[in-house]
Structure 1
Amino acid sequence: MAQGGSSAAGRVTVYSVTGCPRCLQAKSTLHKLGLPVCDVDVNQHAAVRARVRELTGCTAVPQIFFNGVHVGGNEDLQKMPPEELQRLVLLVQEKPAPPDAPPLPEERISHTAGTGDGASELSEVLRNVILKLYADHLSTDGKRVDYKAMSQNSSFRRYCELAVQLQRVELMSLGREERLAFFINIYNSLVIHGNLRLGFPKNVWQRYRLALPDPEPLIHFALNCGAKGCPPIKTYTPQGIDSQLRTAAEAFLGNDDGCVLDPGRGEVKLSRIFKWYKVDFGGTDEKLLVWVLDHMAESPKKSCLQSLLSAGNVRLSFLPYDWSTNCSH
């Protein structure tokens, strides 16, 4: 949870996920208004995520509250009449958040876990170190990395020490959720590690995707191979991993990097990830489009896709993929 600085009496609460473009736009708008923003990553707080869905009836992010007043998502914020927005700004500036304001995560005492050989324990220690590195050296959209600065960070040296222990971990004891979170986090961090230690890939064939025992279509929106066309980088926990991955897919499909609709031409343009791994999404164009529709957040974009599919004769194509390295400099 991050809080912007302000002398206002109340707060604006934004329930978001890392890398969501709509979340980033909303938070940027609110910060420009000089408001204190409590940014709650719902992927990291399952209980809060469930409560927010009860309060709003929405699964999409962001969900924005001015003190106890629910504004809605980013589109609602951007389209709000100036006089209404000003009224809410004054509300936050002059009045504290009421007792029944939307929930914030309970603050937990942080501690350093042991560094034994257990995969679950090592995964959690690595995740915490990686979170620190991501916070310091990842762009706000989660898609670019300041590799030079990261290589000089003491946390990266700590990460390298921990990474050596990966060769000794026993993975057979992990359950499905633990294994998913472990491999996604390790994959993304080792790609960064490899770029720093071995240099950037010279061609697409030097990039690899992780294989799991059973098909897990949602991992394609969590793995980042170090290219600009990849989904944003973030970490995952075994608790609520399916919900976290679902949210990542919704954010990816809500972005023009993942899906673009052209109603006039009856065309759906998808990321090439869907072309390369079509078998994971049903194997045919028809099943792929249904999968995409089923995994979109409720939004005008989803309604548009529903209309296109209902009309039939949809033209499917795939967007260019940006293989350039995701270095921020």
Structure 2
Amino acid sequence: MATYSRNRLTQLLPFILSLLLLGLNSGQVQAAPKAELWPLWQPTVATGQSAVPDFKHWENFLSQYVRRYADGLNRVDYASVTPADKAQLKALLEQLSTTDPRGWGPATQKTFWINTYNLAVVSLVLDHYPLDSIRDIRLSFSSLFNGGPWEDKTLSVTGQELSLNDIEHRILRPIWPDRRLHFALNCASVGCPNLATQIYRVETLDQQLDAAEQDFLRNNRAVLWQPGSNTLQLSSIFNWYQVDFAANENQLLDYLQQQGAVSPGILSTPDLKISYDYNWNLNTDS
């Protein structure tokens, strides 16, 4: 009987894992990591000892392979990326492993981490392309439960291995509490704010972040009014990271109204319903 049970469990295990992965991939509501500072990355007194990397190859990649479509979505032509261009991105990531940003000025550090995050995401997708979603990338056992490679150590800075979540939630968000970061960081998905066609620069960072915020808020991926059901559908970003935008949902709606993303008439609709949605399909143009 014990042998039969073990054999039966072995047969069912792939089916059980498939159901688990299906549930993880299809779920739209998930708990986002809190912003908790990793003390190692706390900025120090500016010394300028480590040279700021040149993101020229990353900018060349963006200008060549990222295209804006009529629906307002910037799509990436992953299929056309040459081996040489892919190798240049890898070389830049390798250079970052010996770079120490902590002694730079605050704006320089913030810009560095935004560019590094987006570069790391695209490089990761290219390593596993073709695929339907970045959430299909499973690099470790923990990936099964994190809905993708967010906790996997996929790059190194200052010789310290880092995950995408480390950059977003343990460096950027706690050191620079700025809601606009959510519009600058791209997760290679249709539902995500656009991957910019240019790198972020220190001298224009605030203007670029403002533009990224407005670009997303004007698109129905962020806010979609469905009058037939009196439903205001919002990006799940506003649910996962509500704390970065407002203290509660009512204040979140005030923020969206102040930004011109929602009209006062919609907010005064009787029996107004709020829903959240996110499209994890890969932001590819092929």
Specify the alignment match of 1:325 in structure 2. Answer: 282
Gap change, CA 1:198 and 1:131, over 3 Å in 2: same
Gap change, CA 1:178 and 1:312, over 3 Å in 2: farther
Shift of 1:313: 6.1
Specify the alignment match of 2:192 in structure 1. Answer: 230
Q: Does 1:191 align with 2:151?
A: no
Rounded Cα–Cα distance in structure 1 between residues aligned with 2:82 and 2:181: 27
Q: Does 1:145 align with 2:76?
A: yes
Identity rate, percent = 28
Shift of 1:328: 2.4
Number of corresponding residues? 202
Equivalent residues of 1:191, 1:226 under 8 A apart:
yes
Alignment of 1:210-249 (within 5 A): 210-211=168-169, 212=172, 213-214=174-175, 215-234=177-196, 235-249=199-213
Rounded Cα–Cα distance in structure 1 between residues aligned with 2:95 and 2:49: 7
Unaligned runs of 5+ in 1: 1-115, 297-301
Per chain length, whose mean CA-contact separation is higher, i.e. which structure has more relative contact order (CA < 8 Å, sep 6+)?
A: 2
Rounded Cα–Cα distance in structure 1 between residues aligned with 2:149 and 2:88: 27
Specify the alignment match of 1:260 in structure 2. Answer: 224
Shift of 1:162: 2.4
Gap change, CA 1:169 and 1:270, over 3 Å in 2: same
Specify the alignment match of 2:88 in structure 1. Answer: 158
Specify the alignment match of 1:305 in structure 2. Answer: 263
Unaligned runs of 5+ in 2: 1-47, 138-146, 151-163
TM (norm. structure 1) is: 0.55
Secondary structure of 2:117's counterpart equals: helix
Equivalent residues of 1:267, 1:315 under 8 A apart:
yes
Gap change, CA 1:151 and 1:118, over 3 Å in 2: farther
Rounded Cα–Cα distance in structure 2 between residues aligned with 1:262 and 1:328: 27
Shift of 1:285: 0.4
Alignment of 1:75-224 (within 5 A): 118=50, 121-122=52-53, 125-126=54-55, 128-141=56-69, 143-152=74-83, 154-199=84-129, 200=131, 201=134, 202=136, 204-207=147-150, 208-209=164-165, 210-211=168-169, 212=172, 213-214=174-175, 215-224=177-186
Rounded Cα–Cα distance in structure 2 between residues aligned with 1:227 and 1:187: 14
Rounded Cα–Cα distance in structure 2 between residues aligned with 1:222 and 1:305: 25
TM (norm. structure 2) is: 0.62
Root mean square deviation of aligned Cα: 2.6
Gap change, CA 1:117 and 1:147, over 3 Å in 2: farther
Amino acid of the residue matched to residue 258 of structure 2?
D
Secondary structure of 1:236's counterpart equals: coil
Rounded Cα–Cα distance in structure 1 between residues aligned with 2:264 and 2:80: 45
Shift of 1:254: 0.6
